[in-house]
Amino acid sequence: MLKIVTVCGAGVGSSMMLRLFSQQILDEEGIEAEVEASDIGSVNPDSYDLVITTSDFADAMRAQRARIIRIDNMMDKVYLREQLLVNTKDLI
Domains and CATH numbers, the chain: 2-85 (3.40.50.2300)
What pTM was estimated for this model as a whole?
A: 0.92
DSSP string, 32-79: -EEEEEEETTT--GGGSSEEEE-HHHHHH---SS-EEEE-S-TT-HHH
More confident residue, 92 or 8: 8
- Residue-wise pLDDT tens digits, 40-73: 999 999 999 999 999 989 988 877 889 999 999 9
